[in-house]
Structure 1
C-alpha cells in the first residue's frame, strides 16, 4: 500500500494541473466581457435592435436559438434587460425538451463522414422537442393572449402578458419551429472547440465529470448538431458566430445594423 502512495499523489497532482489548465482556457469564454471585442459588438447589435423595436407600433415576437453554450442566453438576458421587464416577456423553451432521463435511453444511429454512429439522442435532434406544444404557445402569444409558462422543478411557472410589447422565445427548441411565427429570428453558433471549452468548464467544476468522458460525449453531440440542427440556421433572419470571444454577424436579413 505504501509503495503506491507516490503514484497516487502524482495522479492527483496531474489531475489538478489539468483542471487548472482547462480553467485557464475557459476563462473569458463563458460570457462576453464588457471590454472584449465580442462584448462591444454585442452591445452595438443590441442598440440597433432597440431602434428597430422602437419603430414598431405593434407586439413584436423574437426567436433566439442556437446550440448549447453558443451565447444565446447571455444575449437574451442582456437584451431583455435593456428593454426593461415592464415591456418584455422572456420564454425559456428548455421545458419543451424531452427529459434527459428519457433521451439517455433513446439510442439513434446516423452516418457521419462515412462512419456509422450510435449514441443517445441529444437536444440537437428535432425529435427531442415537443414542437406542437411550443408552436401552439407561440401562436397564442402572437395573437395577444396571456400565457402561463410550464412549471418544472427547476423553472417555476410565470405569466407572460400580452400587454408587453416584446416577447423573446429563447432556446434550442426555437430552431425547429416555423420561423414565420416570429417577427425576427436570431441564431447563435460557435465552432466545436469553443462549445467544448464553455460547456466542459461548467461540467468539470460543478459536476465533477471527467474530461475524457466529456470530450467523447461532446464529439457525438457536435456530430448530431451538424447533422440535425445547423441547417436550420439558414431559415433565420440573423446568424451570429460567437466562436472564441467574437461576435460576427454572418447574415442579417432582418434589420439595419452597423455590423
Structure 2
C-alpha cells in the first residue's frame, strides 16, 4: 500500500470550538509527524483591487478563499513535498509578500469554516469532522474574542454577525454538516468525542504503519 498522509478535515461555524478540537487532536499526537493547515491562510490575493474595494470583502463566503491554491498545496503535501504557505495581511485586506515554508507530515489537520464546502477538498480527506455548537454560544464566544483580542466594539461585532456571519453560516457552513463523518457537539469541551476521534486516528495510523 502506498504511503500517503492522513488528512482530517475539521469545520464548524465561527466560535464553534473547531480550533479547540483541532488543538486537542494535535496535542494528543505531539511528538508524532502531525501538522495543522488553516484555511484562513488561503484567502484570495486582492492586490489588484483598490483598498476601498478590499474593505468590502466577505470573509465568510466561499468565494473569498483561493481553494485552487489550497488544493494544489494539499496535493503536494500528500506527495510528501514541502509548500510555501501564503500569509494574509488583514490590515491591508490582501495577501502579503511573506510565505511560510511547511514541511510534509504523516497527519494533516485541515481546519476552517468552509473546508467541507468544496467537493475537491472533501475528496482529499480521510476523516471529516463538523463541530456543532448552538448559535447563542457561538455569538457569545465571538463577541468575547473580537472585543478582547481584536479591539472591536460591541456594536461592530453584532452588526457583522447579523449582517454577514449568521446568513453565511446558514447558507454555506451549516449545510456542509451532511458531509461530515463525525459531528462533535460543544467543540473542545466534548472530551469523549475527542477521545473517540483520537482512537480512530490511531487505528488509521497503525494500519498505515505510521505508529
How many Å separate the matches in 1 of 2:176 and 2:141?
22
Residue equivalent to 2:183:
239
Task: Pick 1 or 2: higher relative contact order, CA cutoff 8 A, min separation 6.
Answer: 2
Residue equivalent to 2:103:
161
Map of 1:19-38 to 2, 5 A cutoff? Answer: none
Residue equivalent to 1:204:
147
Give the secondary structure class of the aligned counterpart of 1:175.
coil
Post-superposition offset of 1:85: 4.7
**Can you give the 5+ residue segments of structure 2 that lack an aligned partner in the other structure?**
91-95, 202-211
How many Å separate the matches in 2 of 1:224 and 1:175?
14
Post-superposition offset of 1:208: 4.1
Residue equivalent to 1:142:
78
How many Å separate the matches in 2 of 1:103 and 1:147?
27
Given the alignment, which residue of 71, 75, 78 partners 2:17?
A: 71
Give the secondary structure class of the aligned counterpart of 2:86.
coil
Give the secondary structure class of the aligned counterpart of 1:141.
helix
- Cα 1:209–1:147 change in 2 (3 A) is closer
Contact residue 126 and residue 229 of structure 1 kept, 8 A: no
CA deviation digits over 1:100-121, x for unaligned, max 9?
9656425xxxxxxxxxxxxxx3
Q: Does 1:84 align with 2:55?
A: no
How many Å separate the matches in 1 of 2:106 and 2:59?
34
Residue equivalent to 1:170:
111
- Cα 1:59–1:228 change in 2 (3 A) is closer
**Can you give the 5+ residue segments of structure 1 that lack an aligned partner in the other structure?**
1-56, 107-120
Larger radius of gyration: 1
Give the secondary structure class of the aligned counterpart of 1:168.
strand
Post-superposition offset of 1:197: 0.6
- Cα 1:183–1:67 change in 2 (3 A) is same
CA deviation digits over 1:15-64, x for unaligned, max 9?
xxxxxxxxxxxxxxxxxxxxxxxxxxxxxxxxxxxxxxxxxx75211111
Contact residue 103 and residue 128 of structure 1 kept, 8 A: no
Residue equivalent to 1:214:
157
Q: Number of paired residues?
A: 182
- Cα 1:59–1:243 change in 2 (3 A) is closer
Residue equivalent to 2:42:
96
